[in-house]
Amino acid sequence: MKNWNNGKKDKKIRGKTIGSENFTGKINLRIESAEDHTQVNDFCVYLKEIKNLKISSFNWSESKGLMITISLKDTIPLGDRLRQVPLVEEVYKIKKDITVVLDTAFPATDTPVVSGDEGVATA
């Protein structure tokens, strides 16, 4: 029987990691691993704080998922700037698009997790 994954683990194919390379102009950010719209909104709040960056549009497609188009007035090291955002786990480039992987870890909280029958309504 043929091994379809050729012995490789479930490793996602990633593009080239970007860091201090300078970017300018129109850029598509492909958002990966977003938990919900609140997380995307929080990410956009951080984006708006980056000097000379403007959010141009939001698009969604079944094949690419959520794309945020930004424009950069001046050159900046976009990968480094995006990694400074607390929600960002990874930044890499495939072809012309930059993929931003948002952290899906649950935030630390002091609220205890409900277990057993606690919080279950009974009739």
What domains can be seen in the chain, in order of their start residue?
16-102 (3.30.70)
With a pLDDT cut of 90, the percent of the chain lying above it is 50
Question: 25 — phi, psi (to 5°)?
Answer: 85, -155
Q: What is the mean pLDDT of the chain?
A: 79
User: The tokens of 86 are what?
Assistant: 């607390």
pLDDT class of 112 with cuts at 50, 70, 90: very low
| Beta-carbon count within 10 A of 31 CB | 20
Pair 70, 55: CB distance under 8 Å? yes
Q: What is the pTM of this model?
A: 0.70
